[in-house]
Chain A
Amino acid sequence: MSDVYIIGAGIHPFGRTPARSGLQQGVFAVRQALAAAGLAWRDVQFAYGGSDAAGKADTMVSELGLTGLQFINVANGCATGGSAMFGAYSTIKSGEFDLGIAVGFDKHPRGAFDPKPAEWGLPEWYGETGLMLTTQFFAMKIQRYMAMHGISTGTLARVAEKAFANGVLTDHAWRREAVDAETILNAAMVSDPLTKFMFCSPAEGAVALIFASEARARALGLPAVKLRAAAVRSRPPGSFEVFSPALDPERGPSPTVIASRAAYAMAGVGPEDIDVAQLQDTESGAEVMHMAENGFCADGDQEAWIAEGRTRIDGRLPVNTDGGCIACGEPIGASGLRQVYENYRQLTGQAGARQVPGDPRLGYSHVYGAPGVSAVAIVERV
């Protein structure tokens, strides 16, 4: 079994690119990653790729070259990118191949997602009467959390303010203008307590990561990070998930909690060892709750953490250094890989204006989505 390294990364800027399809953005990201690593498409032995709504990843070979490589499409909803990465991780670790890529891309229409009840195994009345909205779920999860653990709306606003501030510094971000906490708080309410500036939007973008075995990484001598853990977990009993007409009275942990524990165990590190974290921030309350679900603080401590700026780029644990989903938008298939891309840039000292000071060693990434799936990865500077 080999250790697994990420030796290159490419990204197509997130946001809106009317002139390019999602697939073309994926090809762009692959080419950028290969160029930065000085590699050619024919060097790639295998690929895992996918999108949620923008087509079949393996058709990229038409543009990239018909090398006959093993190309596996991944369709795992919000965990598509995380699953592609897990595939690459396992493939290198097993020794089957020593160099390959994971690529994720997407292109969603504007506005909230519009799900169909039947596709989720739900009766039509649930959608007809206006209960089937992801925004309601996020609002009700943070509403209860705020009441139970003393989190203020000011904290929600400061999390979004930080996201936009980091987006200003990030080439690949969509929202690149600062928005102050006051404006965020007073903006139009979408679903109480969340205003429009606290939510991310569906968007477009693509990310490609190049994976290699330890021997191959050493031979190539490229800037690299070691993938210490990659875990994907589905929901346990009692977790609170989107599109739930009812919940069991006995509440349980979230898929994030179990994915996080699994990743820490694989890596042999704990939350106190992490130097930079990218956490799912579908809305600013999600970032707050995910700080605790991933073990970085106790429930309720976020109020002090945010007030003291501990999650800013110059703080003790910088969170969502590229502005996260709030500033980058959420192309589902690419979003989880963007987090790992960002950690790769940070740990290899290539993050430019948003570089976390002090040579960060361990980077943590966490993606979460419907219907209750989380993927966590931990990478280490080498």
Chain B
Amino acid sequence: MPDLPPPIDDRLLTIDPAGQPHLLAVREAETGRIVFPAPAEIDPDRHVPMTLPREGRLWSWTVQRFRPKSPPYAGAEAFQPYAVGYVALADSIIVEARLTGAALDGYAIDMPMRLVAEPFAMADGGQRTTFAFAPIEEAAR
């Protein structure tokens, strides 16, 4: 597995030795509710750190057809449209993410999806790793 660039935010995800990303969340001790992204300050009395399930089904999707305004967008100047969606993870939480691994019109609600590491080129020339979901058949190749 080639080395991946550093995560775009260390509090967002970790990458295991096999190169697989894991999304960092917390479970509220009192209610059991899962919170993602994890709060900036984790209170050990209230929050139980956890990683999110890595598979789910596509809940909705769209395509970002124009380059978002910078700031806040920090991607490279050369813009390629990308798909965005919400993925329902095994009844625990519905997570918004970039989508990858299919043509822009190749996504459909209820598709099985899997978390993957997504290289992200910054406008300042840096490389980071963020997260995305890919259709399971495609990601398994």
* Interface residues in chain A, defined as those with a beta carbon under 8 Å from any beta carbon in chain B: 111-112, 114-117, 123-133, 136, 139-141, 143-144, 147, 188-193, 244-249
- Residues in A with CB closer than 8 Å to B64 are 130, 133, 136, 191
Q: Contacting chain A: which of B14-22, B90-98, B133-141?
A: B90-98
- Nearest opposing residue in chain B for A145, CB measure: B60
Chain B nearest Cβ from A41, distance in angstroms: 40
- Residues in B with CB closer than 8 Å to A116 are 71-72
Q: Which of B20-56 contact A (CB under 8 A)?
A: 33-37, 40
- Nearest opposing residue in chain B for A247, CB measure: B94
Instruction: Known contacts A112-B69, A124-B9, A147-B109; decide if A244 and B96 are in contact (CB<8 Å).
Output: yes
* Interface residues in chain B, defined as those with a beta carbon under 8 Å from any beta carbon in chain A: 8-9, 11-12, 33-37, 40, 59-66, 68-69, 71-75, 82, 84-86, 88, 91-98, 104-105, 109, 120, 122, 130
Instruction: Known contacts A114-B69, A127-B72, A136-B62; decide if A245 and B9 are in contact (CB<8 Å).
Output: no
User: Tally of A-B residue pairs with Cβ under 8 A?
Assistant: 117
Instruction: Known contacts A125-B8, A140-B60, A147-B109; decide if A133 and B68 are in contact (CB<8 Å).
Output: yes
In the bound complex, CA of A189 to CA of B105 (Å):
12
A117 touches B95 (CB 8 A): no
Pick from B35, B59, B84: contact of A131, CB below 8 A. Answer: B84
Pick from A126, A133, A249: contact of B92, CB below 8 A. Answer: A249
Instruction: Known contacts A247-B93, A248-B94; decide if A130 and B61 are in contact (CB<8 Å).
Output: no
B93 touches A248 (CB 8 A): yes
In the bound complex, CA of A112 to CA of B69 (Å):
8
In the bound complex, CA of A190 to CA of B40 (Å):
33
Pick from A131, A132, A191: contact of B65, CB below 8 A. Answer: A191
A140 touches B69 (CB 8 A): no
Q: Which 5 A-B pairs have the closest CB atoms?
A: A127-B72, A139-B62, A128-B74, A144-B60, A247-B94
A246 touches B96 (CB 8 A): yes
In the bound complex, CA of A244 to CA of B95 (Å):
9
Pick from B36, B72, B85, B130: contact of A117, CB below 8 A. Answer: B72
Pick from B8, B65, B84, B86: contact of A247, CB below 8 A. Answer: B86
- Residues in A with CB closer than 8 Å to B11 are 123
- Nearest opposing residue in chain B for A118, CB measure: B72
Instruction: Known contacts A117-B72, A128-B73, A244-B96; decide if A192 and B62 are in contact (CB<8 Å).
Output: yes
A245 touches B91 (CB 8 A): no
Known: A123-B11, A191-B64, A247-B86. 17 other contacts (CB 8 A): A114-B71, A125-B9, A128-B74, A128-B75, A129-B74, A129-B98, A130-B73, A130-B82, A132-B72, A139-B62, A140-B62, A140-B86, A147-B60, A245-B36, A246-B37, A247-B94, A247-B96
- Nearest opposing residue in chain B for A249, CB measure: B91
A123 touches B72 (CB 8 A): no
- Residues in A with CB closer than 8 Å to B71 are 114, 116, 127
B65 touches A114 (CB 8 A): no
A123 touches B12 (CB 8 A): yes
In the bound complex, CA of A5 to CA of B19 (Å):
66
- Nearest opposing residue in chain A for B109, CB measure: A147
